[in-house]
Structure 1
Amino acid sequence: MPKLFIVFFSVFFCSIVINQPILVKKTNIHGKVVGIMDGDTFKLLLSDSTTVKIRLANIDCPEKKQPFSTKAKQFVSNAIFNKNVTVQVLKKDRYRRLIANVFYGDSINLNHQLVENGLAWHYVKYSKDTILQSLEDKAKKDKLGLWQDPNSISPWQWRANKKEASRIKKLNKAKAK
């Protein structure tokens, strides 16, 4: 029994120390949206006057400076800013954001709406959601939003390209010295 306790404590302690994702029990919370960071992240004011960051699950909106980033953010703002929403929390990520499905109005799924309107990618690295995939496939077929560009770059690829360009720039600076 003591060995089991030590293993449990070690895993728990390491998850806190190295800031790894911490699973939370799937639960619904309610609050008022008080800030829109970008197309897939916003701030929620809870009834106890605390705010939490919410990151939409299973999707990825364009990054700032990418085409359709502003449109995705505006869509989210029009849909939920200053409104009460229901947040179905799935887990916490390493940045301590709550990863969630978000519902507004008459139980409209915001995550689905963004993909359906061509304002987000289905983030297949983290999701096997067949509904999101079919919504993305239809948006592509209909050339909605970001799918108007046949060479649109996913946010995860855009971030990787940016990181690589930064790495090369640092290497070239070091060589020039």
Structure 2
Amino acid sequence: MGNALRQLGACLCDAIKQQAHEAAAGYGGGDHHAGYGASSEAGFAAFARDILHFDATGEVPEGLASFVQATRATQVIWYKKLLSAWKDSQPPPRNAAEATQLITQSLQTRRKSDLQGLLRFYGLSHPVVGPTPSNPSTQALYPTWPKGVQYEFTTLPVEGHSVADGDTITVFVDVSKDDREERAVPRSVFNAVEKRRRARENRDYKKADMLQQQIFDAGYKVFDGRGSEVLAHKYRIRLRGVDAPESSMPHGPESKAMLIKLVEGQQLRVYVYTADQYGRLVADVHTSHGFLQEQLLKRGCVWHYSQYDHRPELSEWEQEARRARVGLWHFPNPVKPWEYRKNAR
């Protein structure tokens, strides 16, 4: 079982012996919260036992659903992360305070009510956490959304091959870290994720691949990591207010290459305004280096799409690139991409 789990088992035995009169007799027997809530140390013993049980069976505690809003499939993801964190701990948690710390650090979910519900389920108190350092790639950039923004999200790190051209990117969003996303996942997708996990455990990789394709066809993808998996929603993003040269136009390949350079490996902060006729989300995008449309305009990689976007700063950034004759403005009379597309019809 490994040294970490042997330590877990030893720690668990001590805790259960000390709190035997408070702990429930056997997994699934009775209400976890009612059985363990009288003592945080009894809750710690229950948590340790549930971790061991999950490692052996892949099952989450049945009573947890009464304390959290997350689906059972999401709860499975939580316990995978908790099990992995416990195994990696040196030494593993020895008391309620250390277990609380492991839970709060492992489950970086935006739904605070679920984290609080999980802690209440085990009778553990929620720690007081200080302010988080600012990070443009993972935190909101605006105190209030700009006019017209419908919602926002943070992506997983972008892969270079996800860039279609100079103004379109395919991204993935971890559904377990976004309330809106998690609520929108179809039940059929969660079921396919669970079946795929079991197929991989049984080394039936052909079936696992078939289920991954089924998940992908529904607009999702499972990313496999060390001891964990991430279910992510796929989106195509059309950068708002700019238009890049087509691939067959002068500077088209260069514009695409620059976009790849700016977003590859980045977690993007996306502010969605609407969807276009092709199903792409029209959005403002920020990287850890700043506003993506600004970076592209100043480098002469895109035009300001003034027909649809009237923000003066975008026009100013384009003029700055024109004066410097950088990027596509190196050419004397570059063809506007929207005119190119019109003539190509």
Q: Aligned-residue CA RMSD in angstroms? A: 1.3
1:30 to 142, 154, 161: 154
Distance 1:84 1:123 in 2: 25
2:340 to 132, 150, 158: 158
Q: Which amino acid aligns with 2:305?
A: Y
Q: Could you tell me how far 1:26 is from its partner in structure 2? A: 2.1
Q: 1:58 to 1:25 in 2, by over 3 A?
A: closer
Distance 2:165 2:244 in 1: 8
Query: 1:87 matched to which residue of 2?
Result: 270
Q: Could you tell me how far 1:82 is from its partner in structure 2? A: 2.9
Structure 1 outlier segments of 4+, above 3 Å: none
Q: Deviations over 1:47-106 (max 9, x none)?
A: 021110000000000001111111111111111123211001111111111000110014
Q: Could you tell me how far 1:25 is from its partner in structure 2? A: 5.3
| Long gaps (5+) in structure 2 | 1-147, 176-231
Q: Which amino acid aligns with 1:136?
A: E
1:71 to 243, 250, 254: 254
| Long gaps (5+) in structure 1 | 1-23, 164-177
Q: 1:145 to 1:25 in 2, by over 3 A?
A: closer
Query: 1:9 matched to which residue of 2?
Result: none
Alignment of 1:10-159 (within 5 A): 26-32=150-156, 33-34=158-159, 35-48=162-175, 49-106=232-289, 108-159=290-341
Normalised TM-score (structure 1): 0.75
Residue identity over aligned pairs, in percent, reads 29
Distance 1:92 1:160 in 2: 21
Distance 1:69 1:152 in 2: 11
Please say if residues 270 and 284 of structure 2, whose CA atoms lie closer than 8 Å, have aligned partners that are also in contact. yes
Distance 1:149 1:72 in 2: 14
> Which secondary structure state, in structure 1, belongs to the residue aligned with residue 238 of structure 2?
strand
> Which secondary structure state, in structure 2, belongs to the residue aligned with residue 84 of structure 1?
coil
Query: 1:17 matched to which residue of 2?
Result: none
Q: Deviations over 1:136-161 (max 9, x none)?
A: 11111111110111210010011011
Q: Could you tell me how far 1:112 is from its partner in structure 2? A: 1.1
Tell me the number of residue pairs that the alignment of Structure 1 and Structure 2 aligns: 139
> Which secondary structure state, in structure 2, belongs to the residue aligned with residue 50 of structure 1?
strand
